[in-house]
Amino acid sequence: MKEYGKNIQGLVDHICSIEDREKRTQSAYTVVEVIKQLNPSLKQENDQKIWDDLYIMSDFKLDVDGPYPMPEKELLGKKPLPIGYPKGEVKFKHYGRNIEKLIEKAIEIEDDEEQEAAIIYIGQLMRSFHSTWNRDNFDDGIILDDIKTLSKGKLHIDLEKVKENGLFESNTRRDFKVPMQEESGAKGKRGHQGKRRNNGHNKKRRN
């Protein structure tokens, strides 16, 4: 291995020729320390790599009581497995796949108030993405139509309610992220938040 040089290779060859296993092991540890001194960039977490390299330099003939098992020779030079990519096309690329996943989760919510809060949170995200993509042609109705399309008609919220209360405006302070982030164990807490939110809207309409 060129990064270690001929001298280290010579030491490894010498260690392999030592007959006493205990002495051979002790010498291997010494060579590892020498490698670390010659390569200050190698930190403590690189110990296993150094030992693996030691075995490789010995052509997997080094028989010592090392801290790590000898790597399999068959793995040397083996290409890594290809990384799988998500299958299926994203219907609206400017929203991305994560919005589709959030909508799938929102469809599964059984509580009406929690589901509405989830729709509003998703609508806020979609509005921010849409405005970045196209600032000239924008309306909350477009967001709602896209939510209906992505949810196949399973998610709905009144357009007039959205516009009147500015529900899709991300700068409006609302606790809409809670239903999407908390576990089901906090269901009761979210329900109270939904009631407070609705009471707030009712007061605003009465005024």
Residues in CB range of 22: below 8 A, 6 or more apart: none
Give the per-residue pLDDT at 138: 66
**173 vs 35 pLDDT, higher one:** 35
**H or E, element range at 54:** helix 47-57
Q: 61 and 73 in contact (C-beta within 8 Å)? A: no
Phi, psi of 60 (to 5 degrees): 60, 30
Q: How far apart are CA 116 and CA 178, in angstroms?
A: 12
Between the CA atoms of 87, 88, 91 and 94, what dihedral angle is there, to the nearest 10 degrees?
20
**Domain count across the chain:** 2
Give the per-residue pLDDT at 71: 86
Residues in CB range of 184: below 8 A, 6 or more apart: none
Going by C-alpha positions, the residue among 103, 116, 136, 111 that lies closest to residue 198 is: 116
Give the per-residue pLDDT at 202: 45
Q: Which of 24, 43, 75 is the last residue of a domain?
A: 75
Residue 87 within any structural domain of the chain: no
Per-residue pLDDT reduced to its tens digit, 103-114 = 999 999 999 999
Claim to verify: residue 109 and residue 169 sit in the same structural domain: yes
Q: Is the pLDDT assigned to residue 120 strictly greater than 60?
A: yes
Quote the percentage of the chain above a pLDDT of 90.
33
**H or E, element range at 104:** helix 97-108
Average pLDDT over residues 74-95: 69
Give the per-residue pLDDT at 137: 61
Give the per-residue pLDDT at 203: 42
Residue 90 within any structural domain of the chain: no
Q: Which of 14, 42, 75 is the last residue of a domain?
A: 75
Give the per-residue pLDDT at 64: 93
Please report which confidence band the pLDDT of residue 38 belongs to, taking 50, 70 and 90 as the band edges: confident
Average pLDDT over residues 140-164: 89
| Domain region containing 131 | 97-206
Residue 83 within any structural domain of the chain: no
Average pLDDT over residues 58-76: 87
Q: How far apart are CA 166 and CA 24, in angstroms?
A: 75
Claim to verify: residue 101 and residue 191 sit in the same structural domain: yes
Residue 174 within any structural domain of the chain: yes
Claim to verify: residue 114 and residue 70 sit in the same structural domain: no
Residue 88 within any structural domain of the chain: no
Residue 150 within any structural domain of the chain: yes
Claim to verify: residue 117 and residue 60 sit in the same structural domain: no
Claim to verify: residue 134 and residue 52 sit in the same structural domain: no
Claim to verify: residue 34 and residue 119 sit in the same structural domain: no
Kindly provide the b/e burial profile for residues 65-80, where b requires at least 16 CB atoms within 10 angstroms of the residue's own CB: ebeeebeeeeeeeeee
What's this model's pTM, rounded to 2 decimal places? 0.42
| Cα 73 off chain centre by | 32
